[in-house]
Structure 1
Amino acid sequence: MLCWVLILLFVGFLKAQENPVVIYAQVGGTVTLPRYRVEGNADNVYVNWYLHAFSLYSNNQAFMFVITGHVCLSFLAREMKTHADLLSDFSLQISPVQHSDFEIWRCVQHVLLTTSEKTYKLYHDLSPFPDTIYTSYSSSTVDIPCSLFSNIPWSVLKESGLRGAGWSFTPLSDPKSTQSLLSLSVDPVVRWNITQGANNTIKVKGRELKDQDLSIRNLPVSENIRGVYTCDLKLNTKTLSSEVTVEVLKVSSSGGSRVYEGQSVNLTCTLGHQHSSDFEVKWSCSSCSFISSLKPPHPSSLSIPEVKVKDSGRWTCELWKNEKKLTSVVLSLKIVKAPVDIWLCVAISGGVVGFILLLVIVIICIRRHRQVNVHFDTQSGFIHPQQNQKGFYKT
C-alpha cells in the first residue's frame, strides 16, 4: 500500500514539474516561496508543501507528515524546522537557505473538492567563492570570479525577470567612492560592456558571455586594483550580489633594482596598508647571507646597512596566514661594484669644490682685513686712508 502511495505521489511530482516557477536564492540568505491564492473560503483551504514528491508542510496540523526515503516521520522534520517555516498566508519561507534546498518544491491547495498545484524550481544565486583574492606584482593579470551556480540558460533568466547585471569597484583607499565598471546587455548577444565614464585606472575589458561565467577576466595587476569588486544580478523581485576583495602584494627597494656595493638598502613588502597580526611575512633569497641571520617572524621591511655583491639575486616575499601561503612577490636585485672611474670622479669633484670654497673664504678674509675708513682730499683729488687723529686742533 505504501508503495502505491509513493508511486502516485511521484507521478504527481513529475506532472507538476513540467513548467516550474523559477526562483533564485543564495546560500545563507532568505527566500520565500509564495502561495498563490485560490478561490474559496480561506478557512477551508488546506495547503501542503512538497519537496520532490514528499509532503513536508501543511496548515492542517492533524495530517502533517514527512516521508524521507522509506521512513515516515510524524509532524515536521526537526532538521527542516530549523530553517523553513510557514508564514501567516501559508507561503513557505526558507532561512537560512542551505545547499540541500535547491530542489523542486510543490504547493498543493485543496478547497473542498478542488485541487490546485504550483511548482517552484529553486536555483542557486550566484556561486560561492573566496571573500578575498591575494595576488602580487609577480602576476601579470588576475581573474575576479562571478558565475551562476546552476546551469540556467539566459533565455530562462530573461523570462524569469532578469533586468540587468553589472560590476562595480570600491577602492580600499577610498571606501566611499564606488564606481561602475561593466554593465550587461542581453540583446542581440549576452556580453559585458564597459560602463560609460568608468574609471580608466581599472583596465577591464568587455567580452561576450558564452555560458554562466560572469567573471572579470585578465585584469592587469597594479596598485590601482586594490579594492572591493561587487557583481550584481538584478531581477524583478530582488538583486543578488556577491563581493570579493582584491589585495595586491608589492615589494620595493629604496635604491631601485640596481645597487652599488656598500650602499644601504631598504626592502619593503606590503599590501599597501597595515595588515592584522595573524598575517606573516617570510623572506627568502637564492644566494644572500643576510636572510639566514634573521629570526622568524620576519619583518615586512628589511634594512640592509651595507649590501654586498653576493646579495644579488631573487628576493622573494611570501604572505602567509594560518599556516597557508596566500601569495608571493619576487624582486630581482643586482648588486655591482662601483667602477674606479666613478670614485675618481667623485674624489676630483670633491677636491675642486673644496678648493673653490677655500679660495672664497681667503678672499673674504683679505677684503675684510684691508677694509679701512677713507676720506677724499678736495685739493688733490685723491682718496687717502683716514688715520686716527689725536690731540687738539687749532682753529
Structure 2
Amino acid sequence: FIAIFVVFPLKFMDLRERMSFLLVLLLLLAPAHSYAKAAEIVVFAQVGNSVTLLRKPWGKNENIHVNWYFNDQILIYRNPTASTQNQAPPNWQGRISLSTDFSLKISPVTENDFGIFECVQYELTDRTTDKYKLYQVKMSTPPPLLSGATLTLSCEIEREGFNLVHPSIHWLGPDDKIQNGYSNGNKYTLSVIKASGIHNGNWICVVQYGANSILNATTNVVIVEKAPVNIWLVVAIIGGILVLILLAGIAVIIICRHRKVMKYTRRKRRFCCCKK
C-alpha cells in the first residue's frame, strides 16, 4: 500500500517536486526521538546533621573538572589545573567541602539548603550532568519525661521525596534494639510504654531508600528516674518528728506545772502574811 502511495504520485511530478515529496515523506516516516529529562536523584537530610551528595564516577579523576551548583548558583568546583579552591558564597562558607572523590559534603545542613543541586563534570570536550534534590526529614524532640511515662517519637519525611522513593523506616534506641512504629502517610510514629532509664539518650530514625542510601535522623531523649524510697529513712524522719512532738508535750506539761506551783506559792505567802 505504501509503495503504491509513493510510486503513483511520482509519475506526475518533475524532478524537483519528486525530491521535495520524498524528503517530506522521509520526515514523516522517520522515528521521532524523544529526549527525556534526567530524573533528579533523591537525597534526604536533617537540619543540623550532615549529608553527602555522591558524585557519579565518570572519566579519569586526574582530568575531571567538577562544578557543584545549588539552584543555578556555583557553590564549589574542582579544577585539576588550579592550585587554589574557589570561595563559596557567604551562606555556604565553612559548611561545604569536596571529598576525595569530589562528592559534595554539607555540614551542618540548614533550613535553606533544601532544593536542587547540580553536578557538572567536564573532561576535555565531554560533559555530563547529574541533578540531586535534597528533601527534609524532621524528627521530634520530646520534653523530659518521668520514668514510667509513655515516650512518643515522630519522624516526618517531606511528602514529595517520600512519594518518589517510598523509604522503609525503623528506629534504634540507646540500647541498640531495633523497634518498629506505625505510619500515617509520610509520618512515622513510635510509642514506648513505660519508658525507663534504658530509653534515656540518643534515638535514631533510620530512613532507608534506594539501593544503598541511608539517613540516620537523630534526637535526644531525657528520662528522669524517680528517686528510690528508703524505708528506714522514712522511719527515722517519722520517729524524729514524734520525738519532737513528745518533747514539746513534756515541755508544755512542765511549764504548766511550774506555773501552778508558782501560783500556789504566792497564795500561801499571802495567807501567811494575813494571819500574822
Q: TM class by shorter-chain length?
A: 0.5 to 0.7
Superposition TM-score, scaled by structure 2 size: 0.54
CA 144–113 in structure 1, closer or farther in 2 if over 3 Å, else same? same
Contact 2:52–2:105 (CA under 8 A) maintained in structure 1: yes
**Long gaps (5+) in structure 1:** 1-14, 66-73, 171-176, 184-191, 193-206, 249-270, 275-301, 307-395
How many Å separate the matches in 2 of 1:76 and 1:115?
23
Tell me the equivalent position of 2:65. 46
CA 157–246 in structure 1, closer or farther in 2 if over 3 Å, else same? farther
The number of aligned residues is 193
Task: Name the larger-Rg structure.
Answer: 2
Contact 1:17–1:104 (CA under 8 A) maintained in structure 2: no
Q: Percent identity?
A: 22
Equivalent in 218, 225, 240 of residue 242 of structure 1: 218
Contact 1:147–1:213 (CA under 8 A) maintained in structure 2: yes
- Report the Cα offset of residue 117 of structure 1: 0.5
**Amino acid aligned to 1:272:** K
- Report the Cα offset of residue 111 of structure 1: 2.1
Tell me the equivalent position of 2:133. 121
Answer 1 or 2: higher relative contact order, Cα 8 Å, separation at least 6.
Answer: 2
How many Å separate the matches in 1 of 2:173 and 2:65?
49
Tell me the equivalent position of 1:112. 124
Equivalent in 89, 94, 109 of residue 77 of structure 1: 89
CA 233–168 in structure 1, closer or farther in 2 if over 3 Å, else same? closer
**Amino acid aligned to 2:190:** I
- Report the Cα offset of residue 86 of structure 1: 2.0
2:48 aligned with 1:37, yes or no? no
Tell me the equivalent position of 1:19. 39
How many Å separate the matches in 2 of 1:56 and 1:153?
23
- Report the Cα offset of residue 106 of structure 1: 0.3
- Report the Cα offset of residue 241 of structure 1: 3.9
- Report the Cα offset of residue 25 of structure 1: 2.2
Going by fraction, where is strand more abundant, 1 or 2? 1
Tell me the equivalent position of 2:206. 233
Moved beyond 4 Å, runs of 4+: 15-18, 152-155, 177-180, 222-226
SS of equivalent to 1:148: strand
How many Å separate the matches in 1 of 2:52 and 2:152?
30
Aligned-residue RMSD, C-alpha: 3.9
Equivalent in 100, 103, 118 of residue 115 of structure 2: 103
CA 272–56 in structure 1, closer or farther in 2 if over 3 Å, else same? same
- Report the Cα offset of residue 55 of structure 1: 1.6
Superposition TM-score, scaled by structure 1 size: 0.40
How many Å separate the matches in 2 of 1:16 and 1:99?
31
SS of equivalent to 2:128: strand
Equivalent in 188, 196, 220 of residue 214 of structure 1: 188
Going by fraction, where is helix more abundant, 1 or 2? 2
Q: What does 1:164-183 correspond to in 2, within 5 Å?
A: 164-169=168-173, 179-180=177-178, 182-183=179-180
CA 75–212 in structure 1, closer or farther in 2 if over 3 Å, else same? same
